[in-house]
């Protein structure tokens, strides 16, 4: 075999490693959970308020992942999500749909194995309730 043929047959996967930051996994999970019907928001009223405030501060960032906590290892990830569900939705069904969508998105985009997705429902959004009223109640 010639030298150039040997070079072309090397496994590119053994020439370095790819690491994925916790924040990347959190963003993927945040967006995947928000896509599920019945999910009004992620995070408690306080964390949503802090997130809205950070968006207004120069340099505070435009994308927040409030309501999502992740632990990322070399090959696995575990996630905790805090969600607000729309009134009238079947909460266990929404939770299961969120879990399935988050696992699918994280595993597909990162190649990590998701070992658990814990979901806490912190509130239910009532019809006609706006954000200001919801935060005063909390």
Q: 56-66 pLDDT, tens per residue?
A: 555 555 456 88
Range name among 18-22, 51-55, 68-72, 103-107 with the lowest pLDDT average? 51-55
Residues paired with 119 in a beta bridge:
81
Measured distance CA(44)–CA(123) in Å, rounded: 7
Q: Check: CB of residue 65 under 8 Å from CB of residue 27.
A: yes
Using pLDDT thresholds of 50, 70 and 90, give the confidence band for residue 18.
Answer: confident
- Structural domain contains residue 94: yes
Q: How does pLDDT run across 104-130, given as a tens digit for each residue?
A: 999 999 999 999 999 999 999 998 876
- Structural domain contains residue 12: no
Measured distance CA(43)–CA(121) in Å, rounded: 9
β 39-42/113-125 pair status: unpaired
CATH number of the domain residue 102 falls in? 3.30.70.1350
Q: Taking residues 89-93, what's their average pLDDT?
A: 98
Range name among 6-10, 77-81, 134-138 with the lowest pLDDT average? 134-138
- Structural domain contains residue 118: yes
Number of domains in the chain: 1
- Structural domain contains residue 132: yes
Domain that holds residue 99: 22-43+61-136
Q: Check: CB of residue 29 under 8 Å from CB of residue 68.
A: yes
- Structural domain contains residue 1: no
- Structural domain contains residue 112: yes
Q: Check: CB of residue 22 under 8 Å from CB of residue 29.
A: no
Per DSSP, the three-state class of 31 is: helix
- Structural domain contains residue 15: no
pLDDT attached to residue 13:
62
- Structural domain contains residue 65: yes
pLDDT attached to residue 62:
46
4 pLDDT above the threshold of 50: no
């Amino acid at each position: 075999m010639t030298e150039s043929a040997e070079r072309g047959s090397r496994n590119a996967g053994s020439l370095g490693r790819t690491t994925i930051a916790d924040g990347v996994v959190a963003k993927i999970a945040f967006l995947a959970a928000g896509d599920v019907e019945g999910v009004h928001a992620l995070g408690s009223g306080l964390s949503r308020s802090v997130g809205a405030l950070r968006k207004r501060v120069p340099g505070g960032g435009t994308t927040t992942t409030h309501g999502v906590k992740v632990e990322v290892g070399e090959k696995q990830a575990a996630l905790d999500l805090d969600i607000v569900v729309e009134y009238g939705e079947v909460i266990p069904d929404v939770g299961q749909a969120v879990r399935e969508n988050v696992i699918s998105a994280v595993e597909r985009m990162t190649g990590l194995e998701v070992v658990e997705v814990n979901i806490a429902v912190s509130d239910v959004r009532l019809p006609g309730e706006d954000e200001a009223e919801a935060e005063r109640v909390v």
